Amino acid sequence: MPGMPDAFALVALLVATLRAATPLLLAGFGELVAERAGVLNLGVEGMMLVGAAAGFIATASTGNPLLGLAVAALAGALMALLFGVLTLTLRANQVACGLALTIFGVGLSALIGLPWQGTPITGLATVIWPNLDAAGPLAQQFMLLDPVVWLALATPALVGAFLYRTRRGLVVRAVGESHDVAHALGYSVLRVRYAAVVFGGAMAGLAGAYLSLVYTPMWTENMVAGRGWIALALVVFSAWKPAWLALGAVLFGLVTIAQFHAGAFGLDVSPHLLSMLPYLATVVVLVLISRDATRLKLNAPAALGKPFGAAG
């Protein structure tokens, strides 16, 4: 069958792209919900790192990666809760607290993960499909994807449906646009924002655990390597719209794996220079999307980053 190897390579590329996009999808949609509720949490990188470390430790000590994922989500949620207490209850500056969360997460994850460096784990099993053997080699590649990828792929639709098709989603968006109006209508702004922030933290924790449990099944210090910041940039890129965020995450998955496949295209470039690609692409994307200041302003949640002080 001529042409078959090409199709096979293309599917392999697509599968690799989806895997690379998974942490960006999870963390990005968590942050999207938080930002749609009006809270800017720059601590995604730190929450992902703590999730990655906590999930790895739980998996390595129990041998159960599903438990590891749950622990990671919980750890991310706890980190977000800390951020919530500071910025929502105490009304501290969101930008500074987000940076603090990342600095704290970098340190904490390095500390708790240290004894586990180099520990081998059994990663997450793939979904068991009844007719795997019967399927062709192309379909098999998709069928061998792990459940977290499937969850990540479902996330855009789930979050999109929640934000635009449910009453609660409407309340989240209302709180993000004008907390005063939402408050006047009788909604508890703080409760909605806490829920959104904690959801964002759990998703970031899950995204981190995907990296340490599945993507590169091991723990190394700082292994998130800026993906949390890229997820933040993607939310800006998407103009806070789920469809664009999904597209952006998949695009960045492609950029991320392009560096590993450069050799296959006959390019002899230093791995250090290729590693710059995702970061440079983030800058380029930010420039392209931000140059239209009016559009950005119209799409951003109007109360983003502003503290709500009805009690004061």
Question: Binding residues for another protein, per CB under 8 A?
Answer: 42, 46, 82, 86, 90-93, 95-97, 99-101, 103-108, 110-111, 114, 221, 225-226, 229, 232-233, 236, 270, 272-273, 275-276, 279-280, 282-283, 286-287, 290-291, 293, 296, 311-312
Nearer to another protein among residue 142 and residue 279 (C-beta):
279
Nearer to another protein among residue 135 and residue 273 (C-beta):
273
* Residue among 84, 60, 54 at smallest CA distance from 224: 54
Q: How far is the CB of 209 from another protein (least distance, A)?
A: 19
Q: How far is the CB of 198 from another protein (least distance, A)?
A: 17
DSSP assignment letter at 300: S
- Distance set, CA 162 to CA 15, 105, 168, 220 (Å): 27, 29, 7, 35
Nearest 5°: CA angle at 52, between 233 and 117?
Answer: 130
Q: How far is the CB of 275 from another protein (least distance, A)?
A: 5
Q: How far is the CB of 104 from another protein (least distance, A)?
A: 3
Q: How far is the CB of 295 from another protein (least distance, A)?
A: 10
The per-residue b/e assignment along 150-162, b for 16 or more CB within 10 angstroms, e otherwise, is ebbbebbeebbeb
Q: How far is the CB of 278 from another protein (least distance, A)?
A: 8
Nearest 5°: CA angle at 277, between 276 and 280?
Answer: 85
Looking up tokens 């700082």, which residue turns up? 222
- Asked if 190 contacts 39 with a C-beta cutoff of 8 angstroms, the reply is no
Q: How far is the CB of 149 from another protein (least distance, A)?
A: 25
3-state DSSP percent of the chain in helix, strand and coil, to 5? 75, 0, 25
Distance CA 79, CA 205 (A): 9
Nearer to another protein among residue 11 and residue 81 (C-beta):
81
DSSP assignment letter at 262: G
Q: How far is the CB of 48 from another protein (least distance, A)?
A: 15
Distance CA 153, CA 250 (A): 10
Distance CA 246, CA 87 (A): 28
Nearer to another protein among residue 214 and residue 232 (C-beta):
232
Nearer to another protein among residue 123 and residue 307 (C-beta):
307
Nearer to another protein among residue 134 and residue 311 (C-beta):
311
Looking up tokens 């995702």, which residue turns up? 278
Nearer to another protein among residue 167 and residue 297 (C-beta):
297
